[in-house]
Amino acid sequence: DAGVTQSPTHLIKTRGQHVTLRCSPISGHKSVSWYQQVLGQGPQFIFQYYEKEERGRGNFPDRFSARQFPNYSSELNVNALLLGDSALYLCASSAETGVVGAQYFGPGTRLLVL
């Protein structure tokens, strides 16, 4: 079975631009979570979506938004990019809204903001 997939793998943007990152969960998984991983640190939680509804939000500004589609894929949008948004953005899927089945991570999208 295919794991979590993310696109694009790498992205270079300039300050002030916006970006859309995409994620497809493991088949049968209904929950998608997004994390930001800055070099040298552990991933930080941004959002969780389940059945197209936001179920959790981390301490990120309103420039960050996300949505989940009927096929359970998800997009993360970041507006007005700042240099500090440069990071690896990870998507994780799980079978339910909780982590009873644990979260499985994709390879990430590496975003560089210049």
Partner 1 sequence: AQSVSQHNHHVILSEAASLELGCNYSYGGTVNLFWYVQYPGQHLQLLLKYFSGDPLVKGIKGFEAEFIKSKFSFNLRKPSVQWSDTAEYFCAVSPPGNTGKLIFGQGTTLQVKP
Q: Which stretches of the chain bind partner 1, using CB under 8 A?
A: 31, 33, 35, 40-45, 48, 50, 55-56, 58, 90, 92, 94, 97-100, 102-108
Which of 52, 51, 63 is closest to 20 using CA atoms?
63
Pairing type for strands 64-68 and 74-78 reads antiparallel
Q: How far is the CB of 45 from partner 1 (least distance, A)?
A: 5
Q: For partner 1, which is the closer residue by CB, 84 or 100?
A: 100
Q: For partner 1, which is the closer residue by CB, 25 or 106?
A: 106
Q: For partner 1, which is the closer residue by CB, 86 or 97?
A: 97
Which of 60, 107, 104 is closest to 85 using CA atoms?
60
- CB of 25 within 8 A of CB of 32? yes
Reply yes or no: is the peptide bond before residue 70 cis, omega within 30 of 0.
no
Q: How far is the CB of 16 from partner 1 (least distance, A)?
A: 30
- Cα 95 from Cα 103, distance rounded (Å): 8
- CB of 44 within 8 A of CB of 103? no
Q: How far is the CB of 14 from partner 1 (least distance, A)?
A: 27
Q: How far is the CB of 12 from partner 1 (least distance, A)?
A: 20
Q: For partner 1, which is the closer residue by CB, 6 or 81?
A: 6
